Structure 1
Amino acid sequence: MELLRSVQGERVLRELRELRELRELRKRRTHRRRIWVHSITRSRNQLGEYHRLIQELRLDDCRFQRYLRLTVAQFDDLLARIDDRISRQDTNYRRSVPAAERLSICLRYFATGDSYRTIANSFRVGVSTVSIIVPAVATAIWECLVGEFMAVPTAEDWRSIAAVFEERWNFPLCCGALDGKHVTLKAPGNTGSQFFNYKGTYSLVLLAVVDAQRCFRVIDVGGYGRSSDGGTLANSAFVQALQSGTLDLPTDLLLPGADQRGPQPHVFVADEAFPLRKNLMRPYPGRILPREKRIFNYRLSRARLVVENAFGILSSQWRMYRRAMEVKPEVAEMCVKATCVLHNFLRRSEEACAVRGNVPVVEVEPLPDLGRVAANNPGREAVRVREVFTAHFSAEGALSWQDTIV
């Protein structure tokens, strides 16, 4: 009996020993030895994209601009503005990524929309490093440039915008064209269908007001993709400012040559996805319309085209808008704001003015939540204002070619 017990005990010990060896073998196979700095990352200063390719591109301003969307002078100017906010301190263990390289990584992400891993491999840094650099630099760009390049329009600014709209696009008392743009995202986690839009993709919404020179004047970022343009507008800071009277629109004025029609409010033009309001004009619905309504739709669409052009310029310059952004919604929102203010920064610089013109960008400060606006049923005052514009465009405000177009 004792002999049997000793044999069984040895067998149990042997099985335990074999099990322990198997666990150690599996552990060695699944958990590779961790290293402080990978050999590929260690050669960043010699073979990294910033230290090799970008330094060579600085000798050719055109190639540098096509690569990072900024000229060398614009890059250096932007770096000087945000250097203090994006610089990191060296430690006894490793050197930090220089501010110029951090800015290059962020701009390259904006310009291409590539994945963090692709950018990390080309710049020879870690993927986690890129995931920290992009939102940090985007935040610094927004906060450092917003004060100088984004002044909220005053009543005099709105008058200037309306004057240019009347001169270039023949739409008087117009303060801007309104539209929304869906910024495609990879499906965010734990959000259900909030970001799922009618196109079958996931997105957040950029709502913008553009002036006659294709310049962004008001932006509102972060609307859920599932909301319609009208729903996004109803919950935006812009419409709350418009309703509460804090947008500082000019007082009502007479239409050119139409003193008998009385003073009319300044308006914004939008497409049929938006509701008709006293200060927001949309086209008449339907296909079979009388001549006066077709002329109004033509004049409104002609003025509203500038916002479509502005979105086209933005997405053409920053190719991240042409891909699904594989980042969190809050990071995507900050990247959108950063590209908008960079868009403004480039337009205001002297070198970009000769090619593209100025594009100032303004965001309305968030206001207290006033709830959703009323239903899309237009009020009597809104209908009356549109009828006055309709009659004006067919009478004293008629254009020589509009009958041929409609």
Structure 2
Amino acid sequence: MRRRKKRSIWVKDWIKRRAQLGAYNQLLSELENEDPECYRNFLRIKHEDFQYLCNKISPAIKKQDTNMRLAISVEERLAITLRFLASGDWFRSLSYLFRVPRQTISKIIPECCEAIYRFLKEDYMKVPSSEDEWKKISEDFRNKWNFPNLVGALDGKHVVMVAPQHSGSVYFNYKGTFSIVLMALVDANYKFIYTDVGCNGRISDGGVFTNCTLSMALSEGTLNIPPPQPLPGRIKNVPHVIIADDAFPLKPYLMKPYPFRNQPGPNRVYNYRLSRARRVVENAFGILANRFRILRKPIELCPEKVTKIVSATCVLHNFLLDRNSRHLYAPQGTFDEEIDGVLIPGSWRSDALPDSALFSERPLASNMSNLSKEIREEYKEYFVSPEGEVSWQYRYIS
């Protein structure tokens, strides 16, 4: 066994001067008073929201002062965590910046991330529990994306990390990296409705979905999703659905594109309309990684800590979109926009990762039921009918 190195000093002198020269007490105080825009850039959050978070998670992360030394304050702990999420800096770099030992930071960040997720999820990322809440989501998709009876866009994102010790190929994915999977359901306003984080990257997106609680709730009908109803101008009842790509199985509650190329014109219209509505989940993943840069590099932590980090970024994404800081977190032009069907790419795409979470090669899921196919056919007929078509859709299927 390795012999533990004996300490030569209790606390280094430069760390002792944290109260006077640390980043929180000096740099952030200056930015708050002199340059609020740089303050937001440094932490990805404005000062009022920072104080709200401090008050919210304080019971879980506040530590007791002792006769030996003063505890690191809640504000410093949260600032260290937000800077880590915003920049992806190494613990050692944060140690020099905040004058906090690296070993202490390694404990602070997972603890804060867990508290952020636990205390914010009920208010900012709760799965809808009533028909009225689901109907509101469905109306947003119909008004913004011309897709009725739709209650969410589903996809998975691989969060890359350094290979865990003694894990073999468990976390090795089809992209050739080690990862855990973020499975997310997103509404029409780019907010996460549901997330499942932590499944090893070796499992396909369809496999992750099949084994997650959302799939079980959908198949058992326990989510209080509104009952089936006809599409506008149609007669046949169809259920409210979520949409996904070819990696997922076709189900009565889960619509996916027609596979393969050289499809007939109506099928290509359906694929275009489905892909157009699915753009919300691509944008949500894109802006998430753009704002929280820790997601843009291999994370050198164990899978349990990576799971806490990813969960915290998702709930912070919703938190910042919900509050008055939306125009600061995601200003005009951040997300994709459309003008008469012409796509104007969001600003996040100019800094996007090369392997997009939506358009990478994936194994196709099968096992389609006849009922699922009939529902997809009804959507296809609606999208080419006078009640359901949009004027520009035929320009994008040639």
TM-score range, shorter chain: 0.7 to 0.9
Deviation at 1:32? Answer: 6.8
Aligned mates of 1:264, 1:402 — CA distance in 2? 23
- SS of 2:230's equivalent? coil
Deviation at 1:115? Answer: 1.5
Which residue pairs with 2:28 in the alignment?
54
Deviation at 1:169? Answer: 0.9
- SS of 1:336's equivalent? helix
Deviation at 1:54? Answer: 1.3
Which residue pairs with 1:377 in the alignment?
367
Which residue pairs with 1:400 in the alignment?
391
**Residues 273, 33 of structure 1: CA spacing in aligned structure 2 closer, same or farther, 3 A cutoff?**
closer
Query: Is contact 2:191-2:321 (8 Å) kept?
Result: no
* Residue 248 (structure 2) pairs with residue 274 (structure 1): yes
* Residue 146 (structure 2) pairs with residue 155 (structure 1): no
Which residue pairs with 1:391 in the alignment?
381
Aligned mates of 1:187, 1:161 — CA distance in 2? 38
Aligned mates of 2:240, 2:221 — CA distance in 1? 13
The code of the aligned residue for 2:392 comes to W
1:80-91 paired onto structure 2 within 5 Å: 80-91=55-66
Aligned mates of 2:142, 2:5 — CA distance in 1? 69
* Residue 319 (structure 2) pairs with residue 345 (structure 1): yes
**Residues 236, 122 of structure 1: CA spacing in aligned structure 2 closer, same or farther, 3 A cutoff?**
same
1:351-362 paired onto structure 2 within 5 Å: 351-352=325-326, 356=330
Which residue pairs with 1:307 in the alignment?
281
Q: Pick from 188, 210, 227 the counterpart of residue 186 of structure 2.
A: 210
The code of the aligned residue for 1:174 comes to L
Aligned mates of 1:31, 1:340 — CA distance in 2? 39
1:122-137 paired onto structure 2 within 5 Å: 122-137=97-112
Which residue pairs with 2:153 in the alignment?
177
Aligned mates of 1:31, 1:383 — CA distance in 2? 66
Q: Pick from 118, 122, 138 the counterpart of residue 143 of structure 1.
A: 118
Aligned mates of 1:178, 1:273 — CA distance in 2? 11
Deviation at 1:33? Answer: 5.7
Q: Which structure has the bigger radius of gyration?
A: 1
Q: Pick from 287, 292, 298 the counterpart of residue 324 of structure 1.
A: 298
| TM-score with structure 1 setting the length | 0.85
Ranges in structure 1 where 5+ consecutive residues have no aligned partner: 1-26, 358-374
Aligned length: 359
Aligned mates of 1:33, 1:184 — CA distance in 2? 35
Aligned mates of 1:107, 1:248 — CA distance in 2? 36
* Residue 142 (structure 2) pairs with residue 166 (structure 1): yes
Which residue pairs with 2:338 in the alignment?
none
Q: Pick from 92, 99, 110 the counterpart of residue 74 of structure 2.
A: 99
Identity %: 44
Deviation at 1:45? Answer: 1.8
Deviation at 1:149? Answer: 2.4
Which residue pairs with 1:18 in the alignment?
none
Query: Is contact 2:92-2:102 (8 Å) kept?
Result: yes
Aligned mates of 2:178, 2:95 — CA distance in 1? 25
**Residues 68, 355 of structure 1: CA spacing in aligned structure 2 closer, same or farther, 3 A cutoff?**
closer
| TM-score with structure 2 setting the length | 0.87
Q: Pick from 68, 85, 92 the counterpart of residue 43 of structure 2.
A: 68
1:23-42 paired onto structure 2 within 5 Å: 34-42=8-16
- SS of 2:237's equivalent? coil
The code of the aligned residue for 2:285 comes to F
Aligned mates of 1:400, 1:233 — CA distance in 2? 35
Aligned mates of 2:10, 2:60 — CA distance in 1? 27
The code of the aligned residue for 2:162 comes to K
- SS of 1:350's equivalent? coil
The code of the aligned residue for 2:379 comes to F
- SS of 1:179's equivalent? strand
Ranges in structure 2 where 5+ consecutive residues have no aligned partner: 332-364
Aligned mates of 1:384, 1:288 — CA distance in 2? 21
Deviation at 1:96? Answer: 1.0
- SS of 1:288's equivalent? coil
Aligned mates of 1:49, 1:306 — CA distance in 2? 37
Deviation at 1:277? Answer: 0.9
The code of the aligned residue for 1:297 comes to N
- SS of 2:53's equivalent? helix
Deviation at 1:279? Answer: 0.8
